[in-house]
Amino acid sequence: MRAGALALLLACGAPGANPATAPTASIWVRSEAQFEGAVAALRESGGTILLLPHVYAGELLVGARGERPLRILGTPGAQVERIRLDRAQQVSIGGLTVSPVSQDARIEVVGSRYVELHDLLVSARGTRHSASVSIPDSSHVTIRRSTFTHCGDRSPSFVNCLLLSTGASHVTVADSWFHDCYGCDFVHGRFGSDLRLLRNRFERSLPCRIGPVRCGHQDLVELFAGQRLLVEGNHFGVYRVGGAQLYLTNAIDHVTVVNNVFVGTDPLVPGYRSRMGMIIGSRATLRVPHYVRVVNNTILTGSTRMTATRHRSA
Could you state, in order of their start, the residue ranges of all structural domains in the chain? 99-313
Q: How are the residues of the chain apportioned to helix, strand and coil, as percentages rounded to the nearest 5?
A: 5, 50, 45
pLDDT per residue as tens, the chain (314 positions)? 333 333 333 333 333 333 334 446 999 999 999 999 999 999 999 999 999 999 999 899 999 999 999 999 999 999 999 999 999 999 999 999 999 999 999 999 999 999 999 999 999 998 989 999 999 999 999 999 999 999 988 887 788 999 999 999 999 999 999 999 887 889 999 999 999 999 999 998 887 777 666 666 677 899 989 999 999 999 998 877 767 788 888 889 999 999 999 988 888 888 777 777 667 766 667 788 889 999 999 988 866 544 444 444 33
Closest C-alpha to 42, from 58, 18, 62: 62
Q: Provide DSSP, 256-298.
A: EEES-EE-S--TTSTT---S-SEEES-TT-S----SEEEES-E
pTM for this model (two decimals):
0.86
DSSP 159: -
Q: Tell me the pairing of strands 25-29 and 7-10.
A: antiparallel
